[in-house]
Structure 1
Amino acid sequence: MSSVLLLSSNGAGMGHLTRLLAYARRMPDDHRHVVSLSQAVPVVSAEGLPWEYLVSQGSSGLRPAAWRRLFADQLAEILDRVDPDVLVFDGTHPYSGLDAALASHPRTRAVWSRRGMWRPGRNTDQLEKGAWFDAVLEPGDLCAAADRGATAQVPDTEVVRVPPVTLVDADQLQERDAARAALGLPEHGPLALVSLGAGNINDTGDEVGAAAAALTERGIGVCVTAPAIAENAYSGDVHLVRHFPLSEHYRAFDLVIAAAGYNSVHESLRLGVPTILVPNRHTSLDDQEGRADEAARRGWALSAPTLTGGRAGALVGELLDHGTELAEAARAADPGNGAAAAAAAILDVASAA
């Protein structure tokens, strides 16, 4: 049986780590080990997987050169101790030091898992690092028709492309009542998940505040994942939801208002929740505007550059009127979860070790 080391970069959210767990869930139970530069890595405990945390350069306070040496040494020690058949790195920027660690343990093969939809002209130098790996794995994007980034130009012969990857499939969702009970939410009444990052729920000039005001006006409860938002004094019906993976409980929500990152878009569309996408325009690499615009063009979700300035009310109203049609169209276009195919491809590389 092959052993697999799953290494996630330190992204802005949970995307890299969650994608690796999607692969891990479709692999044999034993011989999976997670290493992450994300401080969120303890959530892996709920998956029953062993895990280790490596401090990122930003959190370490070290100069880049010193951190790269530390990272290479720590990862080399883990490779010697765990002795995996294959290492899977998920991220858009393979760290210098990863190549040195792999060279120190030549028995271990390596796979680079990287999502597409890079901003045009960005990160092109990173493609050369594909030479560090035995295979490059690309989880697809439902909105790939709008992809103008560097990875979209790579020939199919150089990568293993699979359908879009999510941790959870629709047939794994908890039923509505059970999902609400698990999250401590009201049994009755409409609820919306608002997942727009940090924000001020009391400020209608802020994306979160504008969303909350529009939902409350229509008698829809607001659910947020950020404690700092939920704890602000607010006259509406606001609930803090804490669970990983939250997507298992998506039937608790009637609507979703979310940023247009890879995971949030594919979870909402695949799991059939009517959605308004508000792309984060300040990401360094992820082309959220392109993804959100394409989802709206295909009739799978609503998209808006901002909810402020009185826009939120009309968008929420439109979603209440047409959200079911949008969600059904998105599910009809879904080619299926690529996580199992990705896991199989990784194990194929491992078996060649």
Structure 2
Amino acid sequence: MTGARLLIDFAGSDPVAGLLAAQIGADGTLQTVTASHTFGPQDTVWFCSQNGFFDAVDRCQSTGATVNVIVRRAAKSPARHHPLQYDLLKTLVAKVSGFSLRLFALGEAAATEIRASGLECEPLVSPQGGGAQTFGRAEFNASQSRFRLLSENRDSVLDFDAINWARLARDYRLSAVQEDPPDLIDIAEFANRLPAKQPADRSDFLFVTPNGVGLGHLTRQLAIAKELQNASPDPDQVKIAFWCFSRAATIIQRAGYSVFLRHNADHLGADTPPWQQWETQAFAHHLRHSRPTAVIADGSRIEPFIVDAMKQPGCHHARLFWIRRGMWRADADDRSLADVRFCDRVLIPGDLASAADPGATARSNPHPAGLSSLVTTAPVVLSKPDDRLTRRAARRALGIGIGRGKTCLVSLGGEAFARTSIIHDKLIEAARKARVRLIWAQSPMAARPSVDNDNEERVSLYPVTPYLAAFDGVVAATGYNTFHELMLQCTCPVLFVPTTNERLDDQAARARFASEQGWAEILEHETGEEEEAKLDAFFQQLRQSQPVSRPALRRDGAIEMATEILNATTARGTS
């Protein structure tokens, strides 16, 4: 015997399963039916077609379960085989025993046809049902298995199997014509009568954090999470959690957020396909139980497990936001830009160096937009001007003393790709000659410039920005977050050492732009330039203690992104 469960047959990409879960108000008890499922007397089982029921009828016998079957009309015209299916179903109805069986149709026209064959059948949705607000029309193109999405500001296409149709019906009225196959006409009628979504008691946001090269993804998400809480009149009604693959998950915990710590296939030494299947089921289970209003992913693509999980029954509630920064390397693979079709919004954090962007994100996306709209905000930074400490307070907090000459912070990025050893000795020698004290930043994912060197002073910093006043200069890599924290909130001399072998981010283009604007110096140590002379000149500039003029932080990208997320998630749609 099994406990009480709500089971929905989910055969491949059949959209009815997702629509059905939205119609019957499926909650955390929902599971999808597999061939290995056994049923018990407390189970309510829904089969989304007579074919699914035919395959499982033997497993239903003598279980005491409540079995509901949606009888479907022909998926193609003319309907040659359905009279035979109706006859077979009549035979089975007469012979079933040991479980309760009811037959439903997706709409009134389908119910009338099925009853004419001699089967007792009722429409699943009454003519008085429905009421979901829609903002456009989704026209069927049955021959190409895709929708044409039309609204006041959109004319795009979306493949039938791209998303859960309950997500689509939240914003679009499905539009079928008489020439469409009967089953598509029935599905459109069913989708357009889904119940309207009721206001939620609280706002739940789930951030998906990849295991990136550094802390960029995590930092942007923390900045946005903070602003989502700040924007709420009642922070207790905002629940924020992180589905986190990052090795720096403790930073999220220290910020006060719940963390679901995950491991990718590489972490586990697992083959990717079975790991992908496992992670999809785990994520779908979480979506059904927690029912977040938004899933917010930051990365160069939308991970397949997110897409696959959100297609499953009961996983339609959340809107999907993709935080996708620009400045991709010109030679980077741009196929993942097609992932826009899965999203409600693509949020682009502004980049001060966007004029020098050589990559695919600076051009028009050749892939259909699907549901998504693209929004570019101001740069996103975690630390605000009010977070900055005075020089005395910063030095005291770091334990580096007061009045001990000129100091320079060295922060050269995540350990996976930094090559600090290439310039390590030259950097130390140039600082020694200039009588500048080096302080090496050791973040949770930073590389050490050398191994077991007790003569180096190290401080553990995250975030760095509040402590910048402690230093007279900074030598840093040119990742998105470091670049913008320094250029927007630092007035001391900065020397950028871009990591040119990083997988996607064009740090070199960003650093060159800053150099051209007079905001910073650049040392392209992997190009073979005269490093000693460049380092000597930088440390002489540092000793002069002249402030450097840089852009002012007039707009806050984290606030703008939080506003976009809140506006989209408060729009009324299907439940």
Is residue 2:391 matched to residue 1:176?
A: yes
- Give the structure 2 partner of residue 286 of structure 1: 505
- In structure 2, which of residues 220, 224, 239 is the aligned counterpart of residue 23 of structure 1? 224
The 3-state SS of whatever aligns with 2:328 is: coil
Structure 2 Cα separation of the partners of residues 11 and 197 of structure 1: 12
Q: Which has the higher contact order (CA 8 A, sep 6+)?
A: 1
CA drift at 1:33? 1.0
Tell me if structure 1 keeps the 8 A contact 2:436–2:539: no
Distance (Å, rounded) in 2 between the aligned partners of 1:165 and 1:154: 22
CA offset at residue 221 of structure 1? 1.6
TM norm structure 1: 0.90
Rate the CA distance shift 1:323–1:132 in 2: closer, same or farther, 3 A: farther
Choose 89-98 or 190-199, whichever is displaced more: 190-199
Residue from 127, 147, 158 that aligns with 2:337? 127
Q: Which residue of 1 aligns with 2:532?
A: 310
| 1:164 matched residue in structure 2 | 379
Q: Does 1:232 align with 2:447?
A: no
Q: 1:319 to 1:80 in 2, by over 3 A?
A: farther
Amino acid at match of 2:541: L
Q: Which moved more, 1:341-350 or 1:244-253?
A: 244-253
Are the structure 2 counterparts of residues 74 and 35 from structure 1 closer, same or farther at C-alpha, using a change threshold of 3 Å? Answer: same
- For residues 82 and 323 of structure 1, do their structure 2 counterparts lie closer, same or farther at Cα, with a shift above 3 Å needed? farther
Question: Match for residue 153 of structure 1?
Answer: 363
**1:57 equivalenced with 2:276 (yes/no):** no
Q: RMSD across aligned C-alpha pairs, in angstroms? A: 2.5
Unaligned runs of 5+ in 1: none
Q: Which of 400, 407, 417 in structure 2 is aligned with 1:191?
A: 407
Secondary structure at the aligned position of 2:228 is classed as coil
Give the C-alpha shift of residue 322 in structure 1. Answer: 7.2
User: Comparing 212-221 with 144-153, which one deviates more in the overlay?
Assistant: 212-221
Which of 40, 46, 49 is residue 254 of structure 2 equivalent to? 46
Q: Distance in 2 between matches of 1:53 and 1:153?
A: 36
Contact kept? 1:204, 1:213, Cα under 8 Å: no
Q: CA deviation at 1:32?
A: 1.1
For 1:193, the aligned partner's letter is L
Assess if the C-alpha contact under 8 Å between 1:206 and 1:308 holds in 2.
no
Higher helix share: 1
Alignment gaps of 5+ in structure 2:
1-201, 230-234
- Tell me which amino acid in the other structure corresponds to 1:178: A
Please say if residues 498 and 523 of structure 2, whose CA atoms lie closer than 8 Å, have aligned partners that are also in contact.
Answer: yes
Give the drift of 1:308.
6.7
User: In 2 relative to 1, CA 309–247 (structure 1 residues): closer, same or farther, beyond 3 Å?
Assistant: closer
- Corresponding residue for residue 482 of structure 2: 264
Alignment of 1:83 with 2:298, yes or no, is no
Change (3 A) 1:309 1:292: closer
Question: Does the Cα contact within 8 Å between 2:521 and 2:538 map onto a contact in 1?
Answer: no
CA gap of 1:262–1:234, structure 2 versus 1, over 3 A, is same
Q: Evaluate the alpha carbon distance shift between residue 349 and residue 339 of structure 1 in structure 2; reply closer, same or farther with a 3 A threshold.
A: same
Q: How many residue pairs end up in the alignment?
A: 345
Task: Give the AA of the match of 1:316.
Answer: F
Hey, what's the Cα distance between the residues in 1 that align with 2:311 and 2:545?
51
For the pair 1:9 / 2:210, whether they are aligned, the reply is: yes
Is 1:319 matched with 2:535? no
Following TM superposition, where does structure 1 have runs of at least 4 consecutive aligned residues deviating by more than 6 angstroms? none
The answer to whether the 8 A contact 1:230-1:240 is kept is: no
User: Structure 1 residue 276 and structure 2 residue 495: aligned?
Assistant: yes
Which residue, out of 138, 144, 147, partners 2:348?
138
Amino acid across the alignment from 1:192: C
8 Å contact 1:192–1:253 — kept in the other structure? yes
Distance 1:158 1:151, change over 3 A: farther
